[in-house]
Amino acid sequence: MKEETNGEAEKRKARVKELIDKGVLGNNTNELVLVVKNRR
């Protein structure tokens, strides 16, 4: 697993927030954890 730069982390957070806003994801921590793991 490569180190993630701050820019990449910020982009990923923005992407997750976007999905929550669109209602693709519930605002559920477990779902967020799954998304983060799946995107690696």
Q: Do the beta carbons of residue 18 and residue 35 sit within 8 Å?
A: no
Q: Is residue 27 part of a domain?
A: yes
pLDDT of residue 9: 87
Please give the pLDDT value at position 25. 57
Burial code (b: 16+ CB inside 10 Å, e: under 16) for 11-29 equals eeeeebeeebeeeebeeee
Q: Output the tens digit of pLDDT for each of the chain's 40 residues.
A: 577 688 888 998 898 888 777 776 555 556 666 666 766 6
Question: In angstroms, rounded to a whole number, what is the distance separating the alpha carbons of residues 30 and 38?
Answer: 12
Residue 1 belongs to some domain of the structure: no
Q: Cα–Cα distance between 27 and 40 in angstroms, integer?
A: 20
- Residue 20, in any domain of the structure: yes
Domain count, the chain: 1
What angle (nearest 5°) sits at the alpha carbon of residue 8, between those of residues 26 and 31?
Answer: 20
The model carries a pTM of 0.42
Domain membership of residue 17 (yes or no) is yes
**13 within some domain:** yes
> What pLDDT is attached to residue 27?
57
Domain range holding 20? Answer: 6-38
Decide if 12 is inside a domain.
yes
Q: What is the pLDDT of residue 32?
A: 63
Instruction: Give me the pLDDT at residue 3, please.
Output: 75
